[in-house]
Amino acid sequence: MPVYFNSKLDLMAEEIIDITPISKNEPWCTSCSGFTDYQRKWTTYPRADLDGGTYAENIEIPHCTVCQNPMYDLRSCKQLLWGFRLLGSTILGLSTLVCFIMYDLSVVSLTVWMFFLIVTTILVKAPSNSRRALNSYALFLDKEKLMNSNKPVRKE
């Protein structure tokens, strides 16, 4: 992915979703809801190459020392999520254009458009692990905010 696309995506994500910026660059454990201690483990992923073959790629993934589950980098989770959303809205936008503007409104165009709507919905919901990680982080932040608001506020 070219750098400008990445930073643009980041910017978009920051503008819309990010009320509280992710300050820590540490891996997040969804099960424990925290930046717990972790150890890095090598996981082998099968990848496809351009010639149609496959090869194994080793990726270092942090694992939680408490629950042993794989952990996630919240920044890349967010990027992935917004990448899918961008892709989804592009597909939906294009299909709306084709179904309703290029062709007249009919049962067929409506059916085709509904099909694209379903595909897009599935696509947007696809990165479920990333969504879960970000949701649990949002909950964690809410809880933290609540804890902080219970503390006596110092008057200036």
Point out the residue whose Cβ comes nearest to Zn ion: 64
Helix (H) or strand (E) holding 46: strand 38-48
**Radius of gyration (C-alpha) of the chain in whole angstroms:** 21
Question: Applying CB under 5 A, which of residues 12, 17, 22, 32 lies at the interface with Zn ion?
Answer: 32
- Shortest gap between Cβ of 132 and Zn ion (angstroms)? 13
Q: Return the amino acid letter for 47.
A: R
| Burial letters 74-86, b for 16+ CB under 10 A, else e | beebbbbbbbbbb
Conformation bin of residue 113: beta by default, left when phi > 0, alpha when psi is -120 to 50: alpha
Task: Determine the Cα–Cα distance for residues 32 and 19; give it in Å rounded to an integer.
Answer: 22
- Shortest gap between Cβ of 28 and Zn ion (angstroms)? 9
Nearer to Zn ion, 116 or 137 (CB): 137
Stretch that binds Zn ion, among 58-66, 72-80, 93-101, 111-119 (CB under 5 A): 58-66
Spell out the long-range contacts of 42-47 with Cβ–Cβ below 8 A and sequence spacing 24 or more. 43/70
Question: Applying CB under 5 A, which of residues 31, 33, 79, 96 lies at the interface with Zn ion?
Answer: 31
Of residues 61-90, those binding Zn ion (CB under 5 A): 64, 66-67
Q: How many residues bind Zn ion (CB under 5 A)?
A: 6
According to the binding rule CB under 5 A, does residue 134 interact with Zn ion? no
Question: Applying CB under 5 A, which of residues 9, 13, 28, 29 lies at the interface with Zn ion?
Answer: 29
Interface with Zn ion (CB under 5 A): 29, 31-32, 64, 66-67
